Amino acid sequence: MINKLLVANRGEIACRVMKTAKLLGIQTVAVYSDADANARHVAMADEAVNLGPAPSKESYLRGDLIIEHAKTLGVDAIHPGYGFLSENAEFANLCKSNNIIFVGPPASAIEAMGSKSAAKRIMEEAGVPLVPGYHGDDQQESTLKKSADEMGYPVLLKAAAGGGGKGMRQVWNESEFTQALNAAKRESMASFGDDHMLVEKYLTRPRHVEIQVFCDSHGNGVYLFERDCSVQRRHQKIIEEAPAPNMSQEIRERMGEAAILAAKAINYEGAGTVEFLLDEDGSFYFMEMNTRLQVEHPVTEMITGEDLVQWQLSVAEGNALPKTQQELTLNGHSFEARIYAEDPANNFLPSTGTLHLLQPPEQSSLVRVDTGVIQGDEVSVYYDPMIAKLVVWGESRDIALKRLLHALGDYHIAGVTTNIEFLKRVASFSAFQAAELTTTFVDKHNDALFAEVKRDTQAKLPAMALLAILHRRLGKSMDVFDKHSHESSPWFTTGAWRANSTYKEQVTVLVGEEEFHAKVNHTLGGETSEAWEVVVGDNTFIVSGSINNHQLRANINGIESRYTFAVKDDEFGLFNQDTHINFSVVAPSHGDDDHNNGNSNFDAPMNGTIVAHLVKPGEQVKKGEPILVMEAMKMEHSITAPSDGVVDSFYFEPGELVDGGALLLEFTNADS
């Protein structure tokens, strides 16, 4: 029996596991790093212990320390969540040797699937279909390249010990192979301590479809249908859904049976996911098996009505599976959208900062939010930047999709850049609504998915200008939001009266790195009417309104709208169903000298570590050529040359930590 459960993880998955444990009357123990001392999962647990400094290798990856605390606290079982130690066979064995239940598969199953190359061999022997590729031990570049040349480009380089898109590169032609291989090896070594690579034929129009499997220690195994996870960026999933659209019952059964075959080939126990590539002709190929609970497991829970964490805990106690294959039913449709702190317009670069406003949609049996953060928490550089998982259910795909879009419109976050607007564009995009899904969906529709950003921003400029004007009238910070302390001062007056002329101004807002301009004429009645003329391009708007707490009432050309907003240190967030914009107001220029040294392209995008210099000081480079690689938030980021020129010097050596905004190198343009 499990009476006390330690959750060896953080964030939303730790909270998710604890929620079910509490429903079952199981005591919970949280572990945390110094950075997570005030985290939500710590507050949820009955007990909590500190593991050490923020870096995961000094805290959440300290299996020995976690076992020590578990023994001290009399823990019966450890749930590893996903990531960190969840697929670490050594940790599973450590639990077993200390008579602690590991809520997951046997170490032997983790080992079998932990190496992609070994997993391919096992699956081949079991009769599970495989994508053509090289999975051998000879890791010489010449051997890997020969395999790629023979199977034909494009090919996919994959880290044998990888996951989550780490150590993975597409290679479209022979000339790209060496650079892509070196980058994949570096990223794999940094993420997994292993740079063993696989080479596989890259299918150009595949779907990523995975099967949720469950096995017990009594020889029983079932599949809980499938999920389509094709919409991805950087090989990481964005929106998942269940069941997979346009999936015939015949393919569903064949794929489910193949997944059970794969699980039984390694004597699997517990929750697992077998991932397949599904081609246009209905053929499918084994990719990998994840020996843990998946991030996207909630969509399976929504269409089956089953609690998969409860199943995990029951199987870990030695019980038989709660249901047989015949007893499992598929009902309706579900979507999961991953809410990330990242900037889609800047190659999905992770964003760090404090969540000054965190307002999720109202939850119900139809709308679910799995999160590990609350308002005021920090998204740090140390961990994955996922804020939450938004999950919805509907009687059909169309109904579920409408519900997803409405819930995304009600999700309001300020303090960091998020992907919410991008998720809305994807979910409302015609090809997505028509379920024309492939793993290259984002790349294929890149221009269309990003074309709306500027137009949407322009359309919201009157409301943004109104908010900026009203906020300035009441003070510079919501923390001193006392109208009466400022309204008598002429410096806070936004009316039309001036000593010598009608007051006119230009309001300039910065959204991302792009400026937008609105001309404001204060000619419509001054303080009492609070109405202004706002000119955006060739369009003129009459605007008025008021603010109260974090609500903006805006009347624009006679149409009234209501928004939620947040302000912190002159950074604004403006939200409603149709608007999710973070912006700042640019102060008017007073003719100060521009001290820009021309190196702004070489500022570190965020805190991170220098990985490699790809050229030598004094070396000529071409526009677009990678010249430096840095690692941040578990991902590599390349700094490229903005033009032909020469790298004069590097300011940081490989292995050194750098702060966001730090100048990384000195560069001279060829035409300077």
As annotated, the active-site residues are: 292
Strand ranges (DSSP E) for 501-623? 504-511, 514-521, 531-536, 539-548, 551-556, 559-568, 571-576, 579-586, 608-613, 620-621
How many Cβ atoms from other residues are within 10 Å of residue 365's Cβ?
Answer: 7
Quick check: 651 and 664 in contact, CB under 8 A?
A: yes
Quick check: 611 and 652 in contact, CB under 8 A?
A: no
How many Cβ atoms from other residues are within 10 Å of residue 451's Cβ?
Answer: 12
Among candidate residues 119, 98, 95, 122, the one with its CA nearest the CA of residue 106: 95
Distance between CA atoms of residues 411 and 421, nearest Å? 10
Query: Phi and psi dihedrals of 14, rounded to 5?
Result: -65, -45
| Residue 313, helix vs strand vs coil | helix
Tokens standing for residue 223: 């599949």
Among candidate residues 168, 169, 167, the one with its CA nearest the CA of residue 191: 167
How far CA 349 is from CA of 345, 582, 631, in Å, comes to 8, 16, 11
Burial of 219 (0-12, 13-18, 19+ CB in 10 A): exposed
Among candidate residues 356, 343, 363, the one with its CA nearest the CA of residue 420: 343
Quick check: 63 and 94 in contact, CB under 8 A?
A: yes
How many Cβ atoms from other residues are within 10 Å of residue 459's Cβ?
Answer: 14
Written as one letter, the residue type at 539 is N
Give Cβ neighbours of residue 2 (< 8 Å, ≥ 6 apart). 26, 76, 77, 101, 313, 316, 317
Token pair 């129009």 is at which residue? 205
Paired sense of beta strands 367-371 and 386-394, if any: antiparallel
How many Cβ atoms from other residues are within 10 Å of residue 74's Cβ?
Answer: 10
Long-range own/partner contacts, residues 620-628 (CB < 8 A, 24 or more apart): 620/644, 620/645, 620/646, 620/670, 621/645, 621/646, 621/647, 626/179, 627/665, 628/664, 628/665
3-state secondary structure 397-456: HHHHHHHHHHHHHCCEEECCCCCHHHHHHHHHCHHHHCCCCCCCHHHHCHHHHHHHHHHH
The dihedral of CA 651, 653, 656, 661: what is its sign?
A: positive
**Residue 211: which region, alpha, beta or left (left: phi > 0; alpha: psi -120 to 50)?**
beta
How many Cβ atoms from other residues are within 10 Å of residue 571's Cβ?
Answer: 16
Burial 424-446 (b: 16+ CB within 10 A, else e): bbbbebeebeebbbbbbbbeebe
Tokens standing for residue 25: 């009357």
Distance between CA atoms of residues 631 and 611, nearest Å? 6
Burial of 161 (0-12, 13-18, 19+ CB in 10 A): buried
Distance between CA atoms of residues 636 and 166, nearest Å? 9
Tokens standing for residue 579: 């608007």
Strand ranges (DSSP E) for 142-250? 155-159, 168-171, 197-201, 207-215, 221-233, 236-242
